[in-house]
Structure 1
Amino acid sequence: MDSTQLALVALSVGAMIGGGIAGLVFIALRARDRARVDSSLELPDGASDVLQGMDEVAVVVDASGHIVAASAPAELFGMVVGTPLPEDDLRLLVRSARHTGLPESSTLRLRRGAELRLVTARVSVITPRLSLIVIRDITEHERVEEMRRDFLSNTSHELKTPVGAITLLAEAIDSAADDPAQVRNFAGRLSAEAARLGQLTSRIMNLSRLQSADDLTELRDVSVDEVVAAAIESQSIAADAAGIAIVRGGARGAYVRGDVQVLTEAVGNLVANAVAYSPRGAQVGVGVRADAAVVEIAVTDRGIGIPEEEQNRIFERFYRADQARSRRTGGTGLGLSIVKHAIQRHGGEVELWSRPGRGSTFTVRLSAIPAPPMAEHAGRRKKPKKPKKKAGAAAPAKGETP
């Protein structure tokens, strides 16, 4: 082998050795970079921007449970960058996800300000030292589902009760055909159950109409005096039977824009509730306060009152704070729900104040409008005219008896 060949062989061996060393160096550098990433607390590029754009609660935490990035809504749950996770349940969920290396989900109750909220939380490990937590508040969804379940359950029960009673009473009338007194008794009870069934179906239809997307069609300038008087009149028989006086007070001559029938039913339902839950001999007050912007109609009783924990649900369909009392009084559980939706459809609101043993006050607030010109004219009092002397009556002559 001459010198030229030896030089070529040496060059080839050197290239192979150099290439091997370069490969080893490249592998070592990649392993170092991977170790740096694994031990780094820096977020991937753009991750912070994604978090800031999220409407849901989302936070990134390190291995010790400290928050290194958060979306804007996370602050509502007390999750602030640089602070530890505020809830033990969340910390346990993060540990479980880090231990398995798989996403973990759970339904939890977390505190948002002063209230507990029902949430679903999902934890995903994004690097060996960082984990992503996404939280979705399902409190309202759960509440709606509970209302739906209550509605189906209670509607079924409420409809079955009068239907079953009507069936039994019809059979009883058939069996007592030879006893006129019994027939009259059963017929009266049958009529009462039929009326109850009719009231229930009517209220379900009214509530469905109020909850629909259709606008109210019978809008006009409504006299609050007319609404209050009609509402009181509709409950006068029940109040007299219960020995309860309904007293009307406050401002007169107020007007609102709305459907007079819907408003009358709403105020009538409040008066009916006050009568039903007041002791015999009590008073129910219906007061009106008005200014240029707002009209308030307050219905007050001195009855059993409503516990504080029940007050948030009192306007739900078929919900009753006192089940036994409601069944004795023949209530449908829809009255207050109708009130709420009727007033909301008029752009107003209903407020409740109640204390057990001290009674309740329901206050309806509606936007006031100026009295129509014809109403102002009719409201002005005319001065009474002096009676005229009858014409054609001559004065008696002197000495004559008048």
Structure 2
Amino acid sequence: MSDIPPKKLIIPYIPDEICLEIFKRCDAKTLRNIKATSRCWRQTLSSYEFVSEVATSWKSKGCSLISHFGFSKTLNSSKDWVLNMDPVYGEATKIDLPMLTPGNGWFRIVGVENGIFLFRFSSTGDRSYLLVWNPAIGSTKAIPDPPRHYCRKCAFLYLFAYFPNSVNYGIVHLYKRDQREKTWTLTLYSSAEQNWLVNVSCPEYVRTLDPNYVSLDGVMYWMNWRENDRDTSPTFIVSFSMLTFEFGQIFVPAEATANYHGLMIHGGKLCLGAVNYDHERYSCTMWEIDSLGETPSWNKLLTYDGYGHPYLLSMFIDGDVIQVLEKYYQVEDLPDMTHTINHITRWSPLGKTQYNLKWMEFDNFVRMRSLSTYYESPFPVGG
């Protein structure tokens, strides 16, 4: 070893503008470490301008499909599992969840947006919690679940969406103070205020929420829920603005009526999928709803047919359609012998081509409880 001391290296001064350009090219772990160096960098790297630009560049890596599976005979169970699936090749890996649900615990994915998951879960089966999670940067935030909900079976009384041009998100919760009440009350959690501050009485046509909701520019949309099979009221879409706290209705025209409807966002516009099906075959039509207002215009995008029972209406990824079909089998003489097949396909409307993305078989009644798209992003979980 030499006894000559090493020369001191003089680190040159780098302007903040140059540092920001360097940080925009860093991975998630590096960004997390940089945030821990000072309050100034934590605020700068958590700003909407920075995280939205980084999230846009990370989208070039592609997205993945997040699917939540569970046994259909059990509404809430700690035995459920979540898969992260490649939307091109169908490769799937199990996700290690950020919370524990042992024994009689359970969980639900309320929503996935801007690379952020919102879970509702319980470790004991009685009291539930809300958890926001960004798996890319490995951060979580617990949010108090409003104790107003009276029914543990109401697993989909929550909506999750981001405010426009903001790192802050909102969580909508519908509840009744008493089961005998005819109208619902809506409360809104804002990550900016860190509290449930808004309480709004819902119109009579708002009966509950739909787990297959969508959000666009701070407005949440979901299909109306029928209380029973004898309900013959017109099919319509309910909207709620997190900015103005106003509700709205969009009635579905006669030419778009079907056995089942579902919503999606495509090309920055609200779309409706209408499915008619029997025991063997289905027909799906996609409608684009333009000029959202008192007299929205409806444009037919595409129509396609298939065999089987669709789990849900399709979702768009890079202009292609992802379709999930479920099929159940049970041997009449052996009631314990059950079988489930989940068939996930990807169809290109332009090329009129379709290929098998994933084929899964289970020796039980298994349901796909939810399906979401996920893009990695550095969005903070605390607003």
Higher Cα radius of gyration: 1
- Structure whose residues are more often helix by fraction: 1
TM-score normalised over the length of structure 2: 0.20
- Structure whose residues are more often strand by fraction: 2
Larger relative contact order, structure 1 or 2 (CA cutoff 8 Å, min sep 6): 2
TM-score normalised over the length of structure 1: 0.19
